[in-house]
Amino acid sequence: MRNLTGATIVALASSCVASSGYLKLDLHRRAPISNKLARRQNSDGSVDAVLSNNQELEYLVNITVGTPAQKLSVTLDTGSSDLWIPASSAPLCKKNQCDFGSFDPSKSSTYQVVEQDGFNITYAAPGDTDAGDWGSDTITIDGSSPIDSQQIGVASALFDQHGVMGVGFDTNEANNDGPGGVYQSVMDNLVSSKIIERKAFSLYLNDRDANSGSIILGGIDTTKYTGDLVALPLQPSDSGAVMEYYVSLTGVSFTDAAGKTTQISPDGYSQATLLDSGTTNTLLTNDVFTPLALGFGTTLDPQGSGNYILPCSVGNGNGTINYSFGGEGGVTIQVPVAAIVGGQAYTSDEYDDPAGGCALSMGTPMESGGFSILGDSFLRSAYAVFDLENQVAALAQADENQASTSNIVVIPTGTAIPSATNTATATGTQLTALESETAIPEASVSGSSLILAGTPTFNLGLSSSTATAGSGSGSSSSGAANYAAVPTAALLGLGVAAGLMGL
């Protein structure tokens, strides 16, 4: 969770609705705070998990720890499994840099040390390690009933400014010595404490401009999606075990402003792809990513950062990227063009587009260590259900901006996902090695040092002044008033640190 420059919007779970069998956390936007979490490993390299890195949205959950209760907020992450928090004794916290609270074990009568110096998580960025003790204490999650003796990491050697609550599989827990290599996670204890009935949850991020979204632990809100909710068996890792939220992506196409649909993925495409709310961007195999990126006028940053840049005006275009899952009888999620346009990297004085140059919220598996990910730039358009007990996910098209409606169905004990109409069973394979570099060209620079925008080849319905902005003339295009600038943010870190994560 490395500090970044630029404005960041944080979504904070500021209210909770608890009922028989489920726990609803409402997520609201808040600014500014800037944080980053990268790809995680255990100190011995034995665990691969994905944590949150975020440029524009980060989703935090209010918790209390200890007796009497100490208040903190932690990142909610579907790609990890541990709950860890900053210790008040950490140097960052002593400097008042623990932005969402810290925990003092000496002030809790119910705190117990499980393993001194046993907690250690290392991230991809150099020096990004959080370490300390494994402990246990009473916690609540945004007003829930107490959970006693929850194992937590208490980080006194702290790189990151606030902790994480993972809601992934136990097999991704870090450095634990429990039976079978796992301990009782927060999700386990939510069930055993009878706060929820099943180790399952649903996620509704809503669009990037919405004021609220939600996660429902143990429940589904049927008003937050349209069409069919289709179940998808989770795909196993290379070891043969289901450890993360991989589903089978079986097709990618693009529908342009005129309604014409072009198939992007090759025939027979079937790729195990990770659904991760802890990832800002979408990472696709080169055979899909490259034609999409080129269609949007993407080029490589000429400054040599390795980042992908596209005209910010693309965000005003019409069209959808269509992701199909599960093969026959599956489900297709439509993602609007605006979702793949990230923060502004260059102004119109630096980049030959009326709205400037923006980061592309997409990449390739080279940036994640070799696996495909559908992050927040996809998940905002989807309603997603994750059933850990039965190793199943379910997807439907999100019905965005429906915060005022609610019809929550408890996910009971059993095997079926409530409201799911059918199960699509096509399987997908995971990448076994890093792919080669893409064929995205480096942006040209004019004699006046103006970066020349790439020219979109997709029909996005943009005006002629925008269509000619990257023609190579080197002159700034007129009509900037016709385009709303994308909110300024730091250039997405798409390089070796896998700076990609965002819930």
Residues marked active site are found at: 77, 276
Q: Which amino acid is at 403?
A: A
Q: Find how far residue 23's CA is from the centre of its chain.
A: 21
- Region for residue 181 given its phi and psi (left: phi exceeds 0; alpha: psi -120 to 50; beta: otherwise): left
Question: Rounded to whole angstroms, what are the CA distances from 205 to 213, 383, 488?
Answer: 5, 8, 21
* CB hemisphere CA count around 111 (13 angstroms): 24
Q: Which of 171, 367, 383, 200 lies closest to 275, judged by CA?
A: 383
Q: Which amino acid is at 291?
A: P
Question: Rounded to whole angstroms, what are the CA distances from 169 to 50, 232, 275, 335, 353?
Answer: 12, 17, 13, 27, 44
SS3 content of the chain, % helix, strand, coil (to 5): 10, 40, 50
Q: Which amino acid is at 164?
A: V
C-alpha–C-alpha distance, residues 488 and 199, integer Å:
38
Q: Which of 224, 276, 282 lies closest to 406, judged by CA?
A: 224
DSSP-assigned letters across all residues of 73-115: EEEEETT---EEEEBTTSHHHHTT--TT--B-GGG-TT-EEEE
The CA-CA-CA angle for residues 162, 165, 171, to 5°, reads 130
C-alpha–C-alpha distance, residues 249 and 110, integer Å:
46
Q: Is-contact 59 503, C-beta < 8 A?
A: yes
Does a cis peptide bond (omega within 30 degrees of 0) precede residue 126? no
